[in-house]
Structure 1
Amino acid sequence: MSGWASGQALSGSFDILTYNVAGLPEPISGSDPAVNTPLISQRLSNYSIVHVQEDFGYHSELLSSDTHFYRTSHSGNVPLGNGLNALSSYPWSDHQRRTWAACWPNSGDCLAAKGFTAMRIQLDDGVVVDFYNLHAEAGDDKLDFQARTVGFQQMSNFIGTYSLGNAVVVAGDTNTRYTSSQDPARLLKEKNGLADVWVELFRGGNPPGHGGSIECRFPVPAGQERMDCEQIDKVHYRGNRLLRLAATDFINQNTAFLTASGGPLSDHFPNQAVFDYELSPSMRAGPRIVGGTHSTWFNDATGGSVGSWGDATARAVVSSITLRGGSRVDKVAYTMSDGRKIPHGGSGGGDRTLKLDAGENINRVEVCIGVRSGGSRGVFSVTVDTDRGRSVRTGSGTGECEVWTPPSGGTWTLVGFQGWTGSEVDALGVVWGKR
């Protein structure tokens, strides 16, 4: 059984380091990666999550002294690899790599499969953030700007579907400058509601205007780092209805990544962002999502219809639930107390419906998953129970089941699900709301 223990932490913190490690093979690289990459490796374990770019020809050296338990697999050297990898103290799921839809060879961008990655990191039970790593098109020619903009639009569209309603952190080498009118530096804010940590903490939320240049000088001696200048290595973020994220610091870790003689270990600054998080007082995700992926993501804890993060109670709760299935679960659908009807899944199977009475609450959900004939994982059965001893169930049980119960303290009930659906229900997790 997986429920909310009364002593479970409702807040916490994490940090992320983003660093272009300049691991291009010699003689392309000008940063001596054969010598410097093992030195970089010695410093990485100090950060809970690390995003690296240009991790091409010296990947084993980059990992040689690192102690992170969770590591992405290497995508390879140029020209096949994208140089993007992550190291983490927390587990993740569904790591994906995407190559930019456009590149312009002026700055050598087409010599590697540059792009972005996405993964869903679980910081704690019910605390999930989608992390994106990127290395954008470089250069300042007209076609560089065009290719960079196409790439940002591509990633923005991906965030809009893959991370619908989710908390998000984007950390990487953006190759963008707010002072350039041709750069898409503002796109993630405008299209996806992501704040730039540096802009928020050091510019009062106001990015630099177009024109001129305030780019940071590189390299600089230890102790001469400035935070009033702009870097192309940026961190963006947003919280969601379930999870409030607050950026508390943005640190140029230049001093920690210097050679014995005081020189830089790469041709970029390493930047660390520090975050606090706090769970909603009235809406909580279950411990985890179980099943398969790569269909259509949905998240019922999204949009203005479910209220704001600090609400004392959930805006609406499930008043009627329908489970459709046969040997597996094809669809979950429910009517909310405010009249909204929410369906997820396909059209197969038969319906089984439970209409809740006034004051009746859903206090137990069991989800069983298994492997389908084609090898993909999916949801084989769902059982929903209420505090008045009534239930509804569909599908066939398996030996791989989880039971979820609401948080303690007050009266909680089901307000929806999170998961993946196609013609069937591929994965599910619950969302609880406080009455």
Structure 2
Amino acid sequence: MYSTWQRVVTPVLALALAACGSSAESETSAETGSDSGSAAGDEIGTETETETSAEDESGSGETDAGTETDSETETTATPGLEGEFSFLTYNVAGLPEGVSSSHPEANTPQISPLLNAYDLVLVQEDFWYHEELSADAEHPYQSQPWSEEPSLVDMGDGLNRFSIFPFELHEREAWYDCNGTLDCASDCLATKGWSFARTTFEAGVVVDVYNLHMEAGSCEEDLVIRDQAAMDLVSAIAIRSEGRPVIVAGDFNLRTTDPEDVFALDTIKSGAGLADACEVLDCGDARIDQVLYRGSESLLLEAQQWWIPPEFVTEDEEDLSDHLPVAVRLRYETL
């Protein structure tokens, strides 16, 4: 668990922060899938809120933790309704300048307007520069950041979302434990975990969307925590999203090609009945930034395309983050 000494700022704290992004990717290869694939189908730091509309200056307030919309009050969609949306997950490397392995002071303002090309965006490591990241984002529904004034003592979870679709019941959960303050990827310097929101794409088309950032590092304790976190996530999905369509995306810090990661990945996919958009579309690029999804008895979800957007670069063709963004086009149809 998080102890007091882990949160004490020391003269070497800033140096240790750099390890938070030690598992970040900077691959430049990009492949696009064209075939479609369908899927039908003891935590800390809890925070719950409804979505914030960018047009509502007064904010939307908060809801009680764990509150769910009564499914009987949701509009039932007419069978045969179809639609599609673009989805982006992106670790924006938002640790403080000089600590981040990217250059967030210069790059974050450049990322902001590029988000507008995507209907639903999930970001990770949005720690220090949220104001800059949201400045030119025109999505009417945006999550409130963990804190308006982040600090080295409390950077938060770095998980935020930008959406053209309304969402509610926004909730944040930390993983049950972390490992490393000045070693082993220093995960305890941030409150890594997952966030949840119920997103309405049109009347009767409602999907539970999870944004996550898993433990980094390769120490034995990191592997144990990741495996347990995978099981906890599956349990959370079973409680919050039973019988519902689901998207789970973000920085998994897990690869399908790493034997040490197989248990956690298989636990999440099989335990929650999720398909991997990259695998379904044979993208050929085993990344730690992933998009998983499932449909339900009343809604078909189908991955149409997976790609790495080429526009997230500087004028000198340098990547705007130490991760590459991953985009997926998803199609839905009511059954």
With the shorter chain as reference, the TM-score category is 0.7 to 0.9
Cα displacement (A) at 1:4: 7.3
* Correspondence for 1:234: 290
Structure 2 residue corresponding to 1:250, chosen from 295, 306, 312: 306
* 2:246 paired with 1:168: yes
Q: Letter of the aligned partner of 2:300 in structure 1?
A: R
Structure 2 residue corresponding to 1:113, chosen from 177, 180, 191: 191
Contact 2:77–2:205 (CA<8 Å) still a contact in 1? no
**Comparing 127-136 and 174-183, the one that deviates more:** 174-183
Contact 1:178–1:186 (CA<8 Å) still a contact in 2? no
Structure 2 residue corresponding to 1:48, chosen from 94, 105, 119: 119
Q: Letter of the aligned partner of 1:28 in structure 2?
A: V
Deviations 1:184-214 (A, max 9, x none): 1221221110011001110xxxxxxxxxxxx
Identity over aligned pairs, percent: 41
Contact 2:278–2:285 (CA<8 Å) still a contact in 1? no
**What CA distance in whole angstroms lies between the structure 1 residues aligned with 2:260 and 2:314?**
36
Structure 1 residue corresponding to 2:324, chosen from 269, 273, 294: 269
Instruction: Identify unmatched segments of 5+ residues in structure 1.
Output: 203-226, 281-435
**What CA distance in whole angstroms lies between the structure 1 residues aligned with 2:302 and 2:238?**
21
Partner-residue secondary structure (3-state), 1:177: coil
* Correspondence for 1:58: 129
Partner-residue secondary structure (3-state), 2:330: strand
Of structures 1 and 2, the larger Rg is shown by 1
Partner-residue secondary structure (3-state), 2:246: strand
Contact 2:208–2:244 (CA<8 Å) still a contact in 1? yes
- Higher-strand-fraction structure: 1
**What CA distance in whole angstroms lies between the structure 1 residues aligned with 2:271 and 2:195?**
19
Partner-residue secondary structure (3-state), 1:129: strand
**What CA distance in whole angstroms lies between the structure 1 residues aligned with 2:275 and 2:329?**
14
After superposition, the Cα gap between the structure-2 partners of 1:243 and 1:30, relative to the gap in structure 1 and judged at 3 Å, is same
Partner-residue secondary structure (3-state), 1:130: strand
**What CA distance in whole angstroms lies between the structure 1 residues aligned with 2:122 and 2:139?**
12
Contact 1:104–1:143 (CA<8 Å) still a contact in 2? yes
**What CA distance in whole angstroms lies between the structure 2 residues aligned with 1:181 and 1:131?**
28
Cα displacement (A) at 1:178: 1.4
Contact 1:17–1:47 (CA<8 Å) still a contact in 2? yes
- Higher-helix-fraction structure: 2
Structure 1 residue corresponding to 2:99, chosen from 14, 20, 28: 28
Contact 2:127–2:155 (CA<8 Å) still a contact in 1? no
* Correspondence for 1:85: 160
After superposition, the Cα gap between the structure-2 partners of 1:230 and 1:112, relative to the gap in structure 1 and judged at 3 Å, is same
**What CA distance in whole angstroms lies between the structure 1 residues aligned with 2:278 and 2:172?**
26
**What CA distance in whole angstroms lies between the structure 2 residues aligned with 1:276 and 1:5?**
15
After superposition, the Cα gap between the structure-2 partners of 1:260 and 1:99, relative to the gap in structure 1 and judged at 3 Å, is same
**What CA distance in whole angstroms lies between the structure 1 residues aligned with 2:232 and 2:291?**
18
Contact 1:195–1:238 (CA<8 Å) still a contact in 2? yes
After superposition, the Cα gap between the structure-2 partners of 1:107 and 1:119, relative to the gap in structure 1 and judged at 3 Å, is same
Q: TM-score, normalised by structure 1?
A: 0.56
Partner-residue secondary structure (3-state), 1:14: strand
* Correspondence for 1:148: 226
* 2:267 paired with 1:192: no
**What CA distance in whole angstroms lies between the structure 2 residues aligned with 1:99 and 1:22?**
19
Q: TM-score, normalised by structure 2?
A: 0.73
- Higher RCO, Cα 8 Å, sep 6+: 2
- Structure 2 matches for 1:334-349, cutoff 5 A? none
Q: Letter of the aligned partner of 1:133 in structure 2?
A: N
**What CA distance in whole angstroms lies between the structure 2 residues aligned with 1:50 and 1:40?**
12
**What CA distance in whole angstroms lies between the structure 2 residues aligned with 1:5 and 1:174?**
33
**What CA distance in whole angstroms lies between the structure 1 residues aligned with 2:227 and 2:76?**
43
* 2:124 paired with 1:124: no
After superposition, the Cα gap between the structure-2 partners of 1:4 and 1:188, relative to the gap in structure 1 and judged at 3 Å, is closer
* Correspondence for 2:141: 70
Q: Letter of the aligned partner of 1:194 in structure 2?
A: L
**What CA distance in whole angstroms lies between the structure 1 residues aligned with 2:198 and 2:75?**
21
Cα displacement (A) at 1:144: 1.1
**What CA distance in whole angstroms lies between the structure 1 residues aligned with 2:213 and 2:77?**
40
Partner-residue secondary structure (3-state), 1:265: coil
**What CA distance in whole angstroms lies between the structure 1 residues aligned with 2:317 and 2:323?**
14
**What CA distance in whole angstroms lies between the structure 2 residues aligned with 1:96 and 1:242?**
25
* 2:257 paired with 1:179: yes
Cα displacement (A) at 1:91: 0.4
